[in-house]
Amino acid sequence: MIRGLSASANRQIAAFERSHGLPAGEVAHSFRRWNASVRQPRGDLEAFHERDDTDLRHGDYHIRTLLEITLHALRPKARRELSAVIGSADERVRDRTLNNPFAPQYLPWWMRRIGV
């Protein structure tokens, strides 16, 4: 369960986890890790990231990628709610990092950032 989200949004997230074979609470866990990662000292930001892979059953994906996949699976109102609570952590990441001009452009924005 993610605090600040409606009961409907949390139910949709739980249904998403079940339909993708994820453990209950995996999205909330990724949300907490994403928030925790942006509170770490600048050099430790990458310590909370896992490699990007969208095979959700194996858990070897970037924590922000799971949140993004979840966003796209939700209905619009729930998507707006989750996006709003993720947004503050995203802003902190953008404030603490720079765009890596050498990173492949096909990667999502959170994987093309470097710490400063």
The Cα–Cα gap between 7 and 100 comes to 38
Does some domain include residue 75? yes
1: in domain: no
Q: Which residues contact 51 (CB under 8 A, 6 or more apart)?
A: 60, 61, 62
Is 81 within a domain?
Answer: yes
Q: Is residue 34 part of a domain?
A: yes
How many structural domains is the chain composed of?
Answer: 1
Q: Is residue 90 part of a domain?
A: yes
pLDDT of residue 51: 43
Q: What averages of pLDDT result for each successive group of 10 residues across the chain (116 residues)? A: 96 97 94 87 49 52 91 98 95 92 94 86
Tell me if 84 is assigned to some domain: yes
Write down the pTM of the prediction.
0.83
Residue 66 covered by a domain: yes
**Of 69, 71, 115, nearest to 92 (Cα)?**
115
pLDDT for res 39? 78
Domain span including residue 69 = 7-115
pLDDT of 52: 42
Q: How many residues does the chain have?
A: 116
Domain-located, residue 2: no
pLDDT at 47: 42
